[in-house]
A and B are shown apart, each in its own frame.
Chain A
Amino acid sequence: MLEIKDLHVEVEGKEIIRGVNLKINDGEFHVLMGHNGSGKTTLAKAVMGHPSTKIKSGDIIFNGQSVKDMSADKRAKLGLFLEFQAPVEVEGVGFVNFLRAARESTTGSTVDIKQFMAEIREYTDKLAISGGIIGRSLNQGFSGGEKKKAEILQMALLKPKLAILDEPDSGLDIDAVKAVAESINEIYNKQKMGLLLITHYSRILNYMKPEYVHVMAGGKMVAEGGQDLILKLEKEGYDSFIKSNGKRN
């Protein structure tokens, strides 16, 4: 479904991604790990088409077509979804209004607001999100945890084919990590979508079962494997991978 081919990406004139290859087939669950500054978030942004990322060479193929020159909304309409590490606060744009506009744009059909609200409530209950955030502006006044949960809520409602989750566990307390992980599992299983989860820590993976694990360092993939790689990382840390395969940015 997603194929990243020898991707080189610059941000503000500096090469951050240095020849990444990655393939995610339909319904597969991948994890991308790496130390701070290894290029994980830049890779996620490049896949989604963030204007600060300049693709110097390589390609991003999604469902058979190159998306590297497409705007972010077109990529979203094809079924890509990015959960933000630091979701932007958007003043005056109501959370529900935004969700409705996004759903209508991605599906091309008008939302039945009553049914849509019921769907929202279903996930706010599961994610233990305070009902109050529904009445607020998008991400404004949300706590760090609420922002993360709100992103997962968006994923549930927008039903992407492939979701890239950029550190959904950061800023969450122990209970919230478990709740978020369980919700992601449920959405993943229910919607049969592909998943690329980006994280520093293995904590959230205690509640999840990824099939493939990738490790990034210095803008490159330096290790790939199964769940055993997580255990190795836990034991040896990132430095052993950096020393043998790459360098810090």
Chain B
Amino acid sequence: MEYYKAFYKEAEELTKALPEEQSELYKRYFLPLPIEELYKSLIDTKDGGGAEEAGLKELAKSFQDNLSVKPDVIVGSTRHIIEKQLEFVRILDANQVTEELLHGKMYKSHEDKLVALIHATSRKYVFIDVPDGKKASINMLFANFMAPSTVQVIIKIGRESELNLFEWFASKTNGKGSSLLGVLHEVSAGPYSKSEINIVHNEDQNTYVLNFSKAKTADNGRLGMNYVYNGGLNTRAKNELFANGHGSRNDVVELIMGSSEQKFDLNTVIANIGHDTVSDLGSRAALMDKSVCLLKGFADVGPDAKGSRSFVNERGILLDKNAYMSSIPGMAIKNSDVKATHSSATAPIDEESEFYLMSKGTDKTTTRKLLVSGFLSAGISRMESPVAKSTVASLLHEKVNSGHFGTIPKLDISNVWFTTQKETDMFEGHYKYRELK
């Protein structure tokens, strides 16, 4: 790891607590992470060798057996396996990455100390470059098998191209201390492109999760970014999505399912930069036991975003009295000719709905499962990829049933009902919740 240390000498310094993190306000709105400890574990990681490779293969087989999805590529902490040669995908070790490949990189190393941490410790880089007019569908499995890992995924989608990317993040730590799985995505969606990227986190209970992404969409491009946070001990995410080109559209779904003492600290910014753009962020969290979620969605409508639309909708359902959620939707509008809403509602399970279902015969446990599955399936319905829909539905079904996470669930979509949601419904919904206050 001397290579990384030399390349980012200052990263170690950055992992130390910053003065603002000592403030009470910061502590209220951000969940703490043991950055220094995680950094040390990352730089001490040894090459997993054959054991890691065998472990990754076993994980991929289990994934295929249980969910009927064959991963094309499996990326571990120090090794990777290519199951299917893909035309537009390259996986490189950090020391193979050239400045030319990183040209136009959106993230700057020092803009966030967690970004600096990922930059300083990424062993693997995944480059996905879909040329103009091409289509690609890729299933990827990432795992920090017996060792912490960070990875960068840099995606370029050409003009009139289509990308359907499914990523599943897993970990296997065997209960030995805390580990880290960090991922940083950079997505550049070209003009008239149409893409969906599904990022599913299902790490085990010993894993800290970092999820960072930046995406920009060019003229009339459409990009769907769907984030599912189901696993991990403590998750910190910061995702920024820019509808840059005129007529471009970014749809963002966040689904959070917490149990035991899981913590999620999610920061998402949707930005309308060009005119006639659409940015739509829909977040849904269902929290059990003592899980905690801080949900911070922010819509930024720029001065040149005439005729644009922006939506932030954060919903939470608390299944236990010790579960906690704080949703803080925000908005900055710098153009008067736009349509924008933001809303937030968190509540325990609706008593009327519960009584309604129970009065027809379903017991309390089944009723709660139906209601939570229903609540989350409204988010799943916004995903387009059948692979994403079925695997995420299975994952959340398992969580609702058992509270377990971090393992690969069996395919089961029997309790999920896929619905469609129109923009107008969202407006009506927002006003409905306002009235309820």
A residues in contact (CB < 8 Å) with B: 48-51, 71-73, 75-77, 81-82, 84, 87-88, 90-94, 97-98, 101-103, 105-106, 136-138, 140, 154, 158
Contacts and interface: CB of A to CB of B under 8 A. Distances in A.
Contact of B378 (A82, A84, A91): A91
Interface string B364-378: 101100110111111
Given A51-B351, A94-B417, A72 B359 contact: yes
A121 to B, nearest CB: 18
Given A88-B356, A92-B378, A93-B374, A73 B361 contact: yes
Contacts of B14: none
Given A91-B378, A103-B361, A158-B360, 6 more contacts: A88-B352, A91-B375, A93-B374, A93-B417, A137-B419, A158-B361
Secondary structure at chain A's binding surface: helix, strand, loop or mixed? mixed
23 contacts: A49-B359, A71-B363, A71-B364, A73-B361, A73-B362, A76-B359, A76-B361, A77-B361, A82-B359, A84-B356, A88-B350, A90-B371, A92-B376, A92-B377, A93-B357, A93-B370, A93-B371, A93-B417, A98-B360, A105-B366, A106-B361, A140-B419, A154-B360
Interface in B376-432: 376-378, 381, 414-415, 417, 419
A197 B366 CA distance: 29
Contacts of A77: 361
Identify whether the interface residues of B are mostly helix, strand, loop, or mixed.
helix
Interface string B328-372: 000000000000000000000011110111111111101100110
A98 B361 contact: no
A82 B359 CA distance: 7
A101 B417 CA distance: 13
Contacts of A138: 374
Contacts of B377: 92
Nearest to A52: B351
A76 B415 contact: no
Contacts of A75: 359
B360 to A, nearest CB: 4
B80 to A, nearest CB: 37
A90 B360 contact: no
Interface string B190-231: 000000000000000000000000000000000000000000
Contact of A73 (B358, B415, B417): B358
A71 B373 CA distance: 22
A149 to B, nearest CB: 16
B357 A92 contact: no
A87 B361 contact: no
Contacts of A73: 358-359, 361-364, 367
A103 B362 CA distance: 8
A140 B378 CA distance: 12
A137 B353 contact: no
B282 to A, nearest CB: 13
A71 B358 contact: yes
A2 to B, nearest CB: 15
A168 to B, nearest CB: 15
A101 B366 contact: yes
A133 to B, nearest CB: 12
Contacts of B356: 84, 87-88, 90
A158 B360 CA distance: 8
Nearest to B372: A92
A164 to B, nearest CB: 10
A98 B377 CA distance: 14
Contact of A102 (B351, B355, B362, B364): B362
B363 to A, nearest CB: 5
B390 to A, nearest CB: 15
Contact of A72 (B358, B371, B376): B358
Interface in B254-295: none
Given A136-B419, A154-B360, A158-B361, A93 B373 contact: yes
Contact of B419 (A92, A98, A106): A92
B359 A97 contact: no
Contacts of B376: 92
Contacts of B353: 88, 90
Contacts of B361: 73, 76-77, 102-103, 105-106, 158
A54 B222 CA distance: 54
Given A88-B356, A90-B356, A105 B362 contact: yes
A101 B370 contact: yes
Contacts of A101: 362, 366, 370
Contacts of A158: 360-361
Contacts of B378: 91-92
Most chain B CB neighbours (cut-off 10 Å) among A50, A81, A154: A50
A72 B355 contact: yes
Contacts of B370: 90, 93, 97-98, 101
A98 B357 contact: yes
B375 A92 contact: yes
Contacts of B363: 71, 73, 105
